[in-house]
Structure 1
Amino acid sequence: MPPILPSRRGLLAGAAGIAGAALLSGCSDDGPPAADPEVPLERRMRETAVRESERLLERYDATSAAHPALAQRLAPLRASVAAHAAGLAEGSPASSPSRSASAASPVPSGGAAAAPPAPGAAPVPAAPADALTALADAERSLAEARTISLAEAPGELARMLASVAACGHVHAYLLTSTPGASS
């Protein structure tokens, strides 16, 4: 009986599998290029979460500045986001008192213009309803990203991120619901 030789297709599949395994094992040792192995995972995750909350605060400020009539409606939600940023920053040694204080300051209720949006920030839509929808989309997107990151987060941070993500979904609902309407 002649020896059974592997088919060309089998050889190619095996070679592809070995090459893929080599690539994957090589990548897993390096880690993300921006991640510093000296900085603990929890600290990196907290700092990222604080930056994301600060960007969301900037969106609230830009929306309030572009639509002063919405400032009063947005103020409690913005205050909640500021509290989340401050809470997330508490466990991060890189947080500074001035950073937390600025994040916790309320939106001016007299319709005074807030600071201009950060460079690269999404523009605020001209129609108030569209501006609220854009803000709700930002809240929802951030909440979903935080929900996904729960799998990697250490215990206490995971609980905090889950709570903040749930609040983000509630904010998105409140931003797109009609005030005073009953369901």
Structure 2
Amino acid sequence: MRRTGTTRRSALTATGAVALGAVLTGCGDGPENRTAPGGADARTAALREGTALRAAAARDSASLLSRYEQVAAAHPLTEAGIAPMGAAVREHLAALGGPARKASGSPAPTPPAAPADARAALKELAAEERRVADGRATALLTAEPELARLLASIAAAGAAHAYLLTELAKETPA
């Protein structure tokens, strides 16, 4: 005796057929049909936005790197602990296009001098890493996929650095 009504198999088959039909026909307008304000096409606008996001992220990394260097110079005791994180920030800067890529023309802001206390300096560095990581996570919402993956990876590394710096601050003698 055959069951009547909708079975799980027929529901899944129908859902798959609808999804396949949507993929094959292409939902919505293609990029060639979209235009941005002012007549520029969407692709050009997206490239411009991606370049600006990348340049801002590179400036943040350059500023963060100079902050690491300041803390290491002011507190030689912390240099061994923060050197691997500083090297990672240097690699992030290179992945983002490095210091030579200054699309906006504005130089990276000079960070304030490191505090005299090593613990306070590490805590401030951790707070800066958190701020930069949060900014990169926010930028993911508007970034193109390739740049979004890069920013997500760098933001995750920054969050890990913030945690490690906080723990290093706890272990550092006052």
TM-score bucket of the superposed structures, by smaller chain: 0.5 to 0.7
Pair 1:141-2:131 in alignment = yes
2:94 alignment partner, one of 83, 86, 89:
86
Name the TM-score, length of structure 1 as normaliser.
Answer: 0.61
Indicate the structure with greater helix content. 2
- CA deviation after TM superposition for structure 1 residue 160, in Å: 0.5
* Inter-partner Cα distance in structure 2 for 1:154 and 1:67: 40
Q: Distance in 2 between matches of 1:178 and 1:48?
A: 28
CA distance in 2, matches of 1:135, 1:47: 22
1:8-157 pair list within 5 angstroms: 40-89=48-97, 95=101, 120-157=110-147
Residues 26-59 of structure 1: CA deviation (Å, up to 9, x unaligned):
xxx69xxxxxx79711111111111110000000
Contact 2:46/2:144 (<8 A) preserved:
no
Q: Which residue matches 2:105?
A: none
The normalised TM-score by structure 2 is 0.64
Q: Distance in 1 between matches of 2:168 and 2:74?
A: 20
User: How much is the aligned-residue C-alpha RMSD, in angstroms?
Assistant: 3.0
Instruction: Give ranges in structure 1 of 5+ residues lacking alignment.
Output: 1-28, 31-36, 97-117
How far does residue 125 in structure 1 lie from its aligned partner after superposition?
A: 1.1
Structure 1's consecutive aligned runs of 4 or more residues displaced over 3 angstroms after TM superposition are none
Identical positions, percent? 41
Q: Which runs of 5+ in 2 are unaligned?
A: 1-36, 39-44, 103-107
Matched residue count: 126
| Aligned residue identity for 2:70 | A
